[in-house]
Amino acid sequence: MVLSNRFTEALVWATQLHADQRRRISGEPYVAHLLRVAGIVLEHGGSEDDAIAALLHDAVEDQGGAEAREAIRRRFGEQVARVVDECSDTDQTPKPPWRERKNAYLAHLPVASSGARLIAAADKLDNVRSLLMNLRAEGRQVWKHFKGGRDGSLWYHREVVRALGQAPQDTGAVLLIQELDRQVGHLERLAAEMEAES
């Protein structure tokens, strides 16, 4: 697949939208996460619309709510806006309580579109890989950065794997979910080892 100027426009706009946002623990520019998620989506058979939605998957949730959704619709079309919406756990400010948002997202995930499920798996895979790296570097204090703490974070990632596994998938998505499952397993084991050592 050859990516069009729409992808370039989405990349530039996502970089602008998230210009002041940093990753929670590492402090790296947030766009690095968006690039990795879009790359994983493309690697596993996603369309250009899926890749654009991957670049913008946090825009509604973190960068403007309903206004951001409407801007995505105007710029990139109904399909991209719908997938981004499916990837968002809220468009409200302030956000509803963490557990409430996560439960609603998990309930929706098995019936979400294939593009939204692919992006969700890619997003969580990148998050888990980053969390593993930070946990190895900083130890158990990493959990203080997460609203759900250690137990909530482990629960959520395992439940995402379960929810994604409930829906029919194509080959690329199956392989991606299997990799996410493996990485969540690594995270669970490392967290348990650190807990046992304390």
pLDDT band of residue 197 (cuts 50, 70, 90) is confident
Given CA atoms 155, 158, 164, 165 in this order, what sign does their dihedral have?
Answer: negative
Mean pLDDT of 124-134: 97
Closest CA to 27 of 170, 130, 108, 160: 130
Active site annotation includes 62: yes
Query: Model confidence at 93, in pLDDT bands (50, 70, 90)?
Result: confident
pLDDT above 80: residue 171: no
pLDDT band at 94 (very low <50, low <70, confident <90, very high): confident
Tens-digit pLDDT profile for residues 130-161: 999 999 999 999 999 999 999 999 999 999 99
92: left (phi over 0), alpha (psi -120 to 50) or beta: beta
Annotated catalytic residue within 49, 61, 123, 181: 61
Interval 74-84: pLDDT, tens: 999 999 999 99
**Residue 172 pLDDT class (50, 70, 90 cuts):** confident
Q: Is the pLDDT of residue 169 over 80?
A: no
Q: In angstroms, rounded to a whole number, what is the distance separating the alpha carbons of residues 58 and 111?
A: 20
Extents of the domains making up the chain? 5-197
Catalytic residue among 62, 91, 159, 179: 62
Instruction: State yes or no: is 89 an active-site residue.
Output: no
Residue-wise pLDDT for 3-46, tens only, equals 999 999 999 999 999 999 999 888 899 999 999 999 999 999 99
Given pLDDT bands bounded at 50, 70 and 90, which one contains residue 1? confident
Query: What is the model's pLDDT at position 122?
Result: 98
Average pLDDT over residues 40-64: 95
Average pLDDT over all residues of the chain: 94
Q: 22 pairs with which residues across the strands?
A: 29
pTM of the model: 0.95
Residue partners of 101: CB distance under 8 A and separation at least 6? 89, 90, 95
Q: Which residue has the higher pLDDT, 187 or 1?
A: 187
Architecture of the CATH domain 5-197: Orthogonal Bundle (1.10)
